[in-house]
Homo-oligomer: A and B are copies of this chain.
Amino acid sequence: MYGGSLSLVRTSDATLSRHCRECVVRHLGACQALSDKELARLEAIARPRRMKTGQVILPQADKPAFFANIISGVVKLTQVLHDGRQQIVGLKFASDFLGRFDGAQNPCSAEAATDVELCCFPLGEFRRIVQEHPKLERLLLESTLNELDDARDWMVLLGRKNAREKMASFFEMIARRTSNAGCVHCEPATALEFVLPLTRADIADYLGLTLETVSRQIACFKAEGIISMAPNNHRHVIVPDWHVLEQAANPVQ
Chain A residues close to B by CB (< 8 Å): 77, 79, 81-83, 85-87, 89-90, 100, 102, 104, 107-108, 134, 137-138, 140-142, 144-145, 147-149, 151-156, 158-161, 205, 207-208, 250-253
Contact partner, A152, options B86, B107, B208, Cβ 8 Å: B107
B85, A160: Cβ atoms under 8 Å?
yes
A224 vs B7: C-alpha distance in the bound complex, in angstroms?
A: 56
**Given A83-B253, A149-B107, A251-B82: A89 and B208 within 8 A (CB)?**
no
Nearest CB on B from A150, distance (A): 9
Q: Evaluate whether A90 and B152 lie within 8 angstroms (CB atoms) in the complex, with A83-B253, A137-B137 already known.
A: yes
- Look across to chain B and name the residue whose beta carbon is closest to the beta carbon of A162: B85
Residue of B nearest to A159 (CB): B208
- How far does the alpha carbon of A244 sit from the alpha carbon of B174 in the complex, in Å? 41
Complex interface: chain B residues within 8 A of A153 (CB): 79, 107
Residues of B within 8 A of A207 (CB): 159
For residue A111, give the distance in angstroms from its CB to the closest CB of chain B: 15
Give the distance in Å from the alpha carbon of A208 to the alpha carbon of B155 in the complex.
Answer: 9
Q: Which of B141, B159, B252 contacts A83 (CB 8 A)?
A: B252
A156 contact from B89, B104, B147, Cβ within 8 A: B89
A164 CA / B149 CA spacing, docked (Å): 28
Q: Are B156 and A154 in contact (CB under 8 A)?
A: no
Known pairs A107-B153, A137-B138, A148-B148 / 14 extra A-B pairs, C-beta < 8 Å: A79-B152, A81-B156, A81-B160, A83-B253, A85-B160, A86-B160, A87-B155, A89-B155, A102-B145, A107-B152, A137-B137, A147-B148, A151-B151, A151-B155
**Contact A160–B82 (Cβ < 8 Å):** no
In the complex, A151→B87 CA distance in Å? 13
Q: How far is A85 from B158 in the complex, measured between Cα atoms in Å?
A: 12
Nearest B residue (CB) for A80: B156
What is the chain B residue whose CB lies nearest that of A86?
B160
Flag if A208 contacts B158 (CB, 8 Å).
yes
State A102–B253 Cα separation when bound (angstroms): 33
Q: Which residues of B contact A142 (CB under 8 A)?
A: 102
- Cα A185 to Cα B48 in complex, Å, equals 44
The answer to whether B152 touches A108 (Cβ under 8 A) is yes
Q: Report whether B250 and A81 are in contact in the complex, using a CB–CB cutoff of 8 Å.
A: yes
